[in-house]
Amino acid sequence: MGSSKSTNTLATVGLCKRAGKITAGFDAVVQDIEKVAGVIAASDLSEKTKKELVYHCAKHNKNIITINHTMDEIKDVIGKRTGIIAILDEGLYSIFK
């Protein structure tokens, strides 16, 4: 899987999921963009999707962090194959920074 920090990133995503503090998927994230603390993007997110995500996040002054994990690795943690996850809690999102 990689380094300890890399493993911790997925563990934190899992923690956020168990706490009910994530929104997953492009449409759901864009719909909830005003109430998210920040957005996590998978390393294999398509350029088109990334461009659209940057647009929506910039419009609402939200940060995007690209993690060194693929959509399939994220699926193993949250149970849904997605390249975009919004973290709803500021404290949990700060762990990713």
Domains and CATH numbers, the chain: 4-96 (3.30.1330.30)
What is the structure's pLDDT at 2? Answer: 44
DSSP conformation letters of 34-73 = GG-SEEEE-TT--HHHHHHHHHHHHHTT--EEE-S--HHH
Statement: the pTM of the whole predicted model exceeds 0.85 = yes
Question: Is pLDDT of 97 > 90?
Answer: no
Residue 21 CB-half CA count within 13 A: 17
For the residues 60-65, what does the mean pLDDT come to? 97
- pLDDT of 6-56, one tens digit each? 558 999 999 999 999 999 999 999 999 999 999 999 999 999 999 999 999
- pLDDT of 66-96, one tens digit each? 999 999 999 999 999 999 999 999 999 999 8
Q: Which residues pair with 87 in a beta bridge?
A: 22, 38
Higher pLDDT, 41 or 97: 41
Q: Give the DSSP letter of residue 3.
A: -
Cα of first residue to Cα of last residue in the chain, in angstroms, is 20
Residue 1 pLDDT level (bands cut at 50, 70, 90):
very low
Distance CA 14, CA 31 (A): 22
